[in-house]
Amino acid sequence: MATKKQVAAAKSNVKKAQKGAQKKKSIASMPKKTRTALGKQGAAVAQRKRSGSKSPMTRQELYALAKKRDLPGRSKMGRDELAEALGRK
């Protein structure tokens, strides 16, 4: 069982973590280019969920597939390059 001192330290750590998370607030504080990219990525994922399709895949999904296939140079490739190398659009 934790001591009173340990419980107090844990509560303090949780409060600090919550304050840190609140300072970042939301994507509103990010650069416009980042917000646009996140919006496009979210739209692509939402479209795929609605249609049940596997395309268009995000860069992260393409990278995971390239990793499974052990594609050389995958870490330096962008989304389009990964899609082309994997034979997808």
Q: Output the average pLDDT for the chain.
A: 79
Look at residue 62 and tell me if it is in a domain.
Answer: yes
Q: Which domain holds residue 85?
A: 56-89
Look at residue 20 and tell me if it is in a domain.
Answer: no
Look at residue 60 and tell me if it is in a domain.
Answer: yes
Look at residue 87 and tell me if it is in a domain.
Answer: yes
Q: How far apart are the first and last CA of the chain?
A: 56
- Give the pLDDT confidence of 19-57 residue by residue, as tens digits: 767 776 566 777 788 778 878 878 877 777 777 766 667
Residue 12 has what pLDDT?
80
Look at residue 25 and tell me if it is in a domain.
Answer: no
Instruction: Look at the chain and report how many structural domains it folds into.
Output: 1
| pLDDT, mean of residues 75-87 | 87
